[in-house]
Chain A
Amino acid sequence: MTKEEAAEKARKDLAKRLGINESQVSERSVADTDFPDMALGAGAADEMSGQMITRGWKIQLEASGKTYEYRADKNQLRAYKFNGKNYKI
């Protein structure tokens, strides 16, 4: 997965979660980031991850006046603390 593909996938996921049209989700920023572990610091329940610093992308999206964060690398995309919970997409 490329950075662009991850951002696109994140937009689609957020629109679905919020029940809104994709066009109502805007991309605020996509930045290269070092995450603390291989679950990109966004481990889901019942999940263990390698404790290795992992290069990926922090994707910030905006919808209905609120900011939402996704985290991705070439292997995975995760919603970070969406309503307090992390999700593997």
Chain B
Amino acid sequence: MNRNNFLPHIALALVLILVAAFAGQLRRWQIQMKNRARIFPTADKRREPINNIESAPYDSRDSSAPEVLVKFKPGITEDAIEKITLGLHDRVEDEIESVPGLAAIDDLDDASAESVAAQYRALPDVEYAEPVFEISADDFSPSLVTPRDPRFSEQWALANDGSRGGTKGADISATTAWSVTTGSDKVVVAVLDSGVDYTHSDLASNIWVRPNSVKPYEDKELGTIQDLHGYNAIENSADPMDDNGHGTHCAGIIGAEGGNDIGIAGVNWKVQIMPLKFMNAGGYGTTKDAVEAINYVIDRKKAGVNVRVISASWGSTQKSRALEDVIRKAYETGILFVAASGNASTNNDRNPHYPSSYNVPNVISVAALDRNDQLASFSNYGVKSVAIAAPGVDILSTWLGDEYEEKSGTSMATPVVAGVAALVAAHDPKITVDELRTRLLASVDPLNSLKGKIASGGRINAAKALQ
């Protein structure tokens, strides 16, 4: 370098350093101002967190990062958007030009992104609002997804906030699982029960409908059934409407439509429920009709319907060789069979309960837990014969007449496991029935209360099952 050029270069470098330092100070002032706003929010604009559910990971990120994505309805001007956000003590961080009306919004209050999104969703000018989630391509970084179904907070099995004497976190970690998948309408779960109220507003869009590519059900002796959405083995008809409520309850646990602003969310927000009726209005049925209904499921699977799971919330102490044989046939066709362990408070290793005690590779026997991760007082158990446990006390789900009811039993724990199996099948469509069973049993949260009581010693964890 020439000595004559040296001084101008030094001067230029100093100027650049000063400019950079000033810009940095400006940024610090900006953050300080923002933090002041967080510490001293105006009382009328302070937002209360909506619930106790732990907030998503964006809390740990840069405080200036946008926290919600809000889509305003067509025709809402930029000025109006500005006004709305200012009114909520927020600011528009960026407008997403490719989607008119979509804006990334940064809130200036100390509120969770979920509560901010909920506040925007309540506005008439807003089409949708959702929290910003971190997306990581190469590691599993759990975030929480909370559906906007109004009674979700009562579904302790999915997200236990510790209310009503429960234990926070004694749940199947559904909100974490849903950051991976909320289910798929390509997965079919057969609910073998008292039928399903397929007109229930929270179920109707998740009910299986036979595609045109699949021929109606034909049975040599029983004739042709124009099955539109399932089968009634009692009447040998195409109408599996529930006249008891039990099957509708189980169906809701597996797949009440999530995020639809109605009632509850199922373990799967999206799934296809195939209603099957073999139990009558009293809630009981014959082994013969159960066998007929399973035979129907196997036939549909062979015809190309992607049935992955049969959920069986029923049983007795009577052993039926025919029932065992048809469940084995379901295994050979690639269908998991999830069954209730029974409600007699007894040890199934000594007093078997069927079909859950059949020694067939696709059978998973399910015990019930209360909201404190304790084995339910009524639940059967068995370190050799009962595989896994799931929430089964005071479970809110769909009921007849477009209603919702809380019910208890291993009947309620069974569809929780069937639902998680469907989530796994949605995420990993090629998984085999053996792999699926192994995956579920390996993804439990071990519990002291289940040590020496059931084979896996734990409660199913949907998030772990999806890892």
Q: On chain A, which size bracket covers the interface? A: 10 to 19
| Cα distance, A38 to B342, chains bound together (Å) | 11
* Docked-complex contact A36 and B344, CB < 8 angstroms: yes
By a CB distance below 8 angstroms, the chain A residues around B315 are 48-49, 51
Interface SS majority for chain B: mixed
* Residues of B close to A48: CB separation below 8 A: 278-279, 284-287, 290, 314-316, 318
Q: Pick from B283, B408, B414: contact of A49, CB below 8 A.
A: B283
> Is there a chain B Cβ closer than 8 Å to A53's Cβ?
yes
Tell me, in angstroms, the Cα distance from A38 to B410 when the chains sit together. 12
Count chain B residues whose beta carbon lies closer than 8 angstroms to a beta carbon of A. 36
Task: Report yes or no: A43 in contact with B316, Cβ–Cβ below 8 A.
Answer: yes
Nearest CB on A from B383, distance (A) = 20
Q: Kindly state whether residue A29 has any CB partner on chain B within 8 Å.
A: no
Q: Chain A residues with Cβ under 8 A from B246's Cβ? A: 38, 50, 52
Contacts of B316 in A (CB 8 A): 39, 43, 47-49
Give the shortest distance, in Å, between A74 (CB) and chain B (any CB): 9
Cβ contacts B309-322/A at 8 Å (1 or 0 each): 00001111110100
By a CB distance below 8 angstroms, the chain A residues around B345 are 36
Q: How far is the CB of A56 from chain B (nearest CB, A)?
A: 11
Of residues 39 through 85 on chain A, the ones whose CB sits less than 8 Å from some CB of chain B are 39, 41, 43, 45-54, 75-76
29 contacts between A and B (CB under 8 A): A36-B342, A36-B345, A38-B246, A38-B283, A43-B317, A46-B287, A46-B318, A46-B320, A47-B287, A47-B316, A48-B278, A48-B279, A48-B285, A49-B284, A49-B315, A50-B193, A50-B244, A50-B284, A51-B314, A51-B340, A51-B343, A52-B246, A52-B249, A52-B313, A52-B408, A52-B409, A52-B411, A54-B283, A75-B244
- List 17 additional A-B contacts (Cβ < 8 Å) besides A46-B288, A51-B315: A37-B283, A39-B283, A46-B320, A47-B285, A48-B286, A48-B318, A49-B279, A49-B285, A50-B284, A51-B313, A51-B340, A51-B342, A52-B246, A52-B407, A52-B411, A53-B378, A53-B409
Ranked nearest first, the 9 interchain pairs of A and B with the lowest CB-CB distance are A38-B283, A52-B409, A36-B343, A51-B340, A49-B284, A52-B411, A75-B282, A50-B283, A51-B411
